[in-house]
Chain A
């Protein structure tokens, strides 16, 4: 995603400190940041490798039984085509269901392999180090600032951060109003000052129902 400033609440703080003295090769930094903000897909790969080991290992054992002319343990791979043929005529619904299940599994795997797998993290520019920040941290910081700006109690503010937007939800005490403008100004001020990449824009929302005793 390009870093086009979507909104400009504080033009002065938009000038990001570009690494003027790129003493660490920026290629390495970029590589680190890319690896840290995207999933490696190692989890899915390891799970599928283990499944593959179990299935192929079993087929191998059955192949040895078939080669020695022994009766199969459960099912001989030599009979696979014949079994499929008889099952397709005798139990078509079952075969169709199994085939669709395998196709769905394959589709899921292909999607896992093709999607970028972003990890809910933003980066901050720094001259020396590569920085990644969990979205959870950004949300917690926004919620705390909103609480201070709006004069609210800890349980009255929740914040939620996505790739390019943040939503702050305020639950005022019943009968009182919330200073949404102050909250939004504080949030955008903080987001402009810290200059996350990709940039985040905040929006504030007040829940329609207040809460007693909040």
Chain B
């Protein structure tokens, strides 16, 4: 439930993939013995490049007397690196620390998300079929949303725990009392291999 732009993720992967595919096929094709055409084209490209480099002298003093094209390349690389760094850092954002934020005439009301977290964890963690509960608040389209992660003990059916979670969320709705209810995701996961939930040997 993060705010990561998933379409951008996929677009980036597809664009990078297509570029890599095209470059790879081109490079492989140049070395094929039956394709002197591409090598002729490469020879032309190499000559054109050296002409361009010699025609674009910046005209400065030593060591700035060379072509400015490598400088352009360096600036382009710097731009790409900055954009990619920003993209890496902004993956997985979206946590929030409040579930209610009302600004009314009488004053501003903020309810911390840890209130909702404590309430739901308290309501659910004593159940026998629940090994552990964790609650996280996210921001979804500018409004808060909750994610309840229920780790069940091995072999428990998810329905009862889910109904209990739904009931606990309804109780939270009554306590918070806003008109718009908070979207809640209940994520039911199994006993972790590292810390297995006890198999309650009931038959």
Contact = CB atoms under 8 A, between A and B. Distances in A.
Interface in A142-200: 143-145, 148, 154, 190, 193-194
B84 A56 contact: yes
A50 B88 CA distance: 8
A46 B88 contact: yes
A136 B190 CA distance: 6
A141 B21 contact: no
A20 interface: no
Contact of B70 (A23, A44, A78, A102): A78
A22 to B, nearest CB: 11
Nearest to B49: A81
Contacts of A31: 140
Interface in B140-168: 140-141, 145, 148, 152, 154-159, 162-163, 165-166
A214 interface: no
Interface stretch (B74-82, B96-104, B107-115): B74-82
A210 interface: no
A44 B19 CA distance: 16
A107 B186 contact: no
Interface string A99-119: 111111111111111100000
Contacts of B18: 106, 110
Most buried by A among B25, B28, B145: B28
Interface of A is mostly: helix
11 contacts: A24-B183, A44-B13, A46-B91, A56-B77, A70-B63, A78-B53, A84-B42, A89-B39, A105-B20, A132-B188, A137-B189
Interface of A: 23-25, 28-29, 31-33, 35-36, 40-42, 44-46, 48-50, 52-53, 56-57, 59-61, 63-64, 66-70, 77-78, 81-82, 84-85, 87-89, 91-93, 95-96, 98-114, 124, 126-134, 136-138, 140-141, 143-145, 148, 154, 190, 193-194
Contacts of B13: 41, 44-45, 48, 109-110, 112-113
Contacts of A107: 17, 21
Contact of A60 (B39, B78, B186): B78
B9 A130 contact: no
- Listed from nearest, the 10 A-B pairs whose CB atoms lie closest are A99-B28, A60-B77, A102-B24, A109-B17, A106-B20, A106-B21, A103-B24, A144-B155, A110-B17, A113-B13
A85 B36 CA distance: 11
B185 A36 contact: yes
B59 to A, nearest CB: 14
Contacts of B49: 78, 81
Contact of A41 (B6, B24, B186): B6
A106 B28 CA distance: 14
Given A64-B70, A84-B27, A103-B25, A32 B183 contact: yes
A111 B88 CA distance: 21
Contacts, number: 271
Contacts of A82: 46
Contacts of B12: 45, 48-49, 113
A100 B31 CA distance: 11
B4 interface: yes
Contact of A96 (B28, B39, B85): B28
A95 B145 contact: no
B152 to A, nearest CB: 6
Given A45-B13, A130-B184, 9 more contacts: A36-B1, A63-B73, A69-B63, A85-B30, A85-B42, A103-B24, A106-B16, A128-B166, A140-B191
A130 B63 contact: no
B140 A53 contact: no
A45 B166 contact: no
